[in-house]
Amino acid sequence: KAGVTQTPRYLIKTRGQQVTLSCSPISGHRSVSWYQQTPGQGLQFLFEYFSETQRNKGNFPGRFSGRQFSNSRSEMNVSTLELGDSALYLCASSKTAGNTIYFGEGSWLTVV
């Protein structure tokens, strides 16, 4: 079966722009979460969605937002991009908290 799919894989944006990243979870998985990975901070939790509801949000500014659609696909948006937003953004999906969590290949964002 298909894994977690993230698009786009690579993108370059300019400071002040906004970006939208997309994630398609594994079929049947209703929980989708997002993580930011940087060399300095490691992997940090952004938010988690279940059945179109954001259940939990990490300690990130309001410029970071997301949503989940009725087919469980999710998007995250970052507005007013800063250089420090350059990172690998990873999406993960699972059936529930008790099940194995699967990650996508990630979206590499470079802000110049």
Partner 1 sequence: KQEVTQIPAALSVPEGENLVLNCSFTDSAIYNLQWFRQDHGKGLTSLLLIQSSQREQTSGRLNASLDKSSGRSTLYIAASQPGDSATYLCAVISLLWAGSYQLTFGKGTKLSVIP
| Closer residue to partner 1 in complex, CB, 9/15 | 9
Map residue 74 onto helix, strand or coil. strand
| Closer residue to partner 1 in complex, CB, 20/44 | 44
Cα–Cα distance for residue pair 81/36, rounded to 1 Å: 14
Q: Which stretch binds partner 1 (CB under 8 A): 13-21, 65-73, 75-83, 97-105?
A: 97-105
Buried b (16+ CB within 10 A) or exposed e, 15-50: eeeebebebbbbeebebbbbbbeeeeeeeeebbbbb
Site string for partner 1, 28-67 (x = CB under 8 A): ---x-x-x------xx-x--x-x----xx-x---------
Q: Which stretch binds partner 1 (CB under 8 A): 11-19, 20-28, 63-71, 93-101?
A: 93-101
